[in-house]
């Protein structure tokens, strides 16, 4: 059995990872440590909650006493650190919690992992640490780190700490830097779920600036398959970019969503731009493709339609987020 500490497993990518991997691997014992911030939703883990090789623990990655206890009790040998404050707009409103979780929290995990001589520490980072691109070019693993938002600067700081643990202690760390994810279970503050849900509710779709900001979209399962490969075969001390070569201006995705839902483009509302808004992200993922034989399996054209359909079919899921009811699931399940 591989005893794996997955942090932030009640969020969008982490819950998709756990649900996916527990259907594929019965040699994984997953301990999910998540403190259920606004972004954590235990309902996401319904498919996994009764599995013998899955345990949920509510708690903060910055709590070293708790993290120590978990390492000892569950004999943790692998860590996948998804836990983070992840929304750029929130980081602009207030950056402190971003540093506490993304930097200090990662540092706590690294220190305790080092003392326990773990086999591998996978840090889930982001392409946003590279900053913004002009019209041409792609981010490679050698692109200098140049983050622009409080969110991306906190992720970059964590990356630097992770690499310092490799250089100083030869700790077996690997970093993944992925582009923008989409798919089921994404919290409706991010572009794609927000636009789908607003359109379904006939509410305005707020488009920042001129709508021509470019993101490179990848389906969440493709990202998670790459993470699992990195956990298994990623070379220690290395960084792997992950992306599906699918650049798109925001307005194109928004129009596609409206067209599929047969809603009028009059719902589009151009609003004041996000301060410091990065113009373009685009990933060169040839390293992970060449070294680990990973490649994306989902085409944007079909996976975006499946994603829109998922939000249509799961109105109760996002309805409970909008009403705040989703936060009661933990209390109900654990009878608190
Ligand atoms: P999310 O915001 O949906 O989920 C984050 C999870 O972490 C939540 O369940 C939350 O409760 C938990 N968490 C927050 N602070 C915590 C703390 N102090 N202790 C324990 N748990 C805590 O985020 P996501 O979109 O699933 O992203 C997961 C990771 O992937 C993040 O590290 C993010 O930087 C990275 N990433 C995200 C994207 C994307 O497009 N969403 C792209 C590349 C990288
Ligand atoms: P977001 O989903 O917040 O991801 P990130 O900023 O981490 O890339 O935003 C994706 C893009 O969509 C980004 O260019 C900002 C833009 N955007 C809007 O135009 N309107 C919105 O309401 C949101 C949330 C994002």
In-domain check, residue 207: no
* 191 within ligand 1 shell (Cβ under 6 A): no
- Say which residue the tokens 């919290």 belong to: 187
Look at the chain and count its residues: 336
pLDDT digits (tens), the chain, 336 positions: 999 999 999 999 999 999 999 999 999 999 999 999 999 999 999 999 999 999 999 999 999 999 999 999 999 999 999 999 999 999 999 999 999 999 999 999 999 999 999 999 999 999 999 999 999 999 999 999 999 999 999 999 999 999 999 999 999 999 999 999 999 999 999 999 999 999 999 999 999 999 999 999 999 999 999 999 999 999 999 999 999 999 999 999 999 999 999 999 999 999 999 999 999 999 999 999 999 999 999 999 999 999 999 999 999 999 999 999 999 999 888 887
User: What angle separates helix 150-169 from helix 106-115, to the nearest 10 degrees?
Assistant: 20
Report yes or no on 101 lying in a domain.
yes
Going along 152-282, which residue ranges are E strands?
A: 173-178, 181-182, 205-208, 214-216, 218-219, 239-242, 247-249, 268-271
Indicate the number of domains in the chain. 1
* Ligand 2 atom 3: residue of nearest CA: 190
What is the largest distance, in Å, between two alpha-carbon atoms of the chain? 58
The CATH number of whichever domain residue 84 belongs to comes to 3.40.50.720
257 found inside a domain:
no
Q: Is residue 55 a part of any domain in this protein?
A: yes
pTM value is: 0.99
Asked whether residue 270 is domain-assigned, the answer is no
Q: Tell me if 312 is assigned to some domain.
A: no
DSSP 26: S
| Annotation marks residue 28 as catalytic | no
CB-based contact 208:250 (threshold 8 Å): yes
Which atom in ligand 1 lies closest to the alpha carbon of residue 105?
18
Instruction: For residue 122, tell me if it sits in a domain.
Output: yes
Give the tokens for residue 229.
Answer: 């490969």
DSSP letters for 37-105: -TT--GGGGTTTTT-TTEEEEE--TT-HHHHHHHHHHHT--EEEE------HHHHHH--HHHIIIIIII
Spatial neighbors of 145 by CB under 8 A, at least 6 apart, are 129, 130, 131, 156, 159, 160
Calpha distance 57→36 (Å, rounded):
10
61 CB less than 6 Å from ligand 1? Answer: yes
- Contact of 274 with 210, CB cutoff 8 Å: no
- Category of 191 on φ-ψ map: left (φ > 0), alpha (ψ -120 to 50) or beta: alpha
Q: Is ligand 2 within 6 A of the CB of residue 249?
A: no
Q: Tell me if 334 is assigned to some domain.
A: no
Secondary element (H or E) of residue 230: helix 220-233
CA 238 vs. chain centroid, Å, equals 19
Range of the domain at 36: 2-183+217-247+276-300
Judging by beta carbons within 10 Å of its beta carbon (0-12, 13-18, 19+), is residue 74 exposed, middle or buried? middle
Catalytic residue among 28, 54, 130, 151: 151
């Amino acid at each position: 059995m591989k005893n794996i500490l997955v942090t932030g497993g009640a969020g969008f990518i982490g819950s998709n990872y756990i649900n996916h991997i527990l259907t594929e691997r019965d040699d994984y014992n997953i301990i999910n440590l998540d403190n259920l911030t606004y972004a954590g939703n235990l309902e996401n883990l319904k498919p996994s909650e009764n599995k013998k090789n899955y345990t949920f623990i509510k708690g903060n990655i910055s709590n070293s006493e708790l993290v120590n206890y978990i390492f000892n009790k569950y004999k943790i040998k692998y860590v996948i650190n998804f836990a983070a404050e992840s929304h750029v707009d929130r980081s602009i409103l207030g950056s402190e919690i971003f540093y506490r979780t993304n930097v200090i929290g990662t540092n706590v995990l690294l220190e305790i992992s080092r003392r326990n001589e773990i086999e591998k520490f996978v840090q889930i980072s982001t392409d946003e640490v590279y900053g913004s691109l002009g019209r041409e070019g792609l981010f490679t693993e050698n692109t200098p780190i140049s983050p622009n938002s409080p969110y991306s600067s906190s992720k970059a700081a964590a990356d630097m700490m992770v690499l310092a643990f490799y250089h100083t202690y030869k700790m077996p760390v690997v970093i993944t830097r992925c582009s923008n994810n989409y798919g089921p279970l994404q919290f409706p503050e991010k572009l794609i779920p927000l636009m789908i849900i607003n359109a379904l509710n006939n509410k305005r779709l707020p488009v920042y600036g001129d709508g021509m900001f470019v993101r490179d979209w990848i389906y969440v399962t493709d990202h998670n398959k790459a993470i699992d490969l990195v956990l298994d075969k990623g070379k220690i001390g290395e960084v792997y970019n992950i992306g599906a070569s699918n650049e798109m201006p925001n307005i194109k995705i928004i129009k596609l969503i409206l067209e599929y839902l047969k809603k009028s483009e009059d719902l589009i509302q151009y609003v004041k731009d996000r301060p410091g808004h990065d113009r373009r992200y685009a990933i060169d993922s040839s390293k992970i493709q060449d070294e680990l034989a990973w490649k994306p399996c989902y085409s944007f054209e079909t996976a975006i339609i499946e994603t829109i359909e998922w939000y249509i079919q799961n109105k109760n899921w996002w309805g409970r987020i909008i009403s705040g009811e989703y936060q009661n699931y933990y209390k109900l399940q654990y009878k608190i």
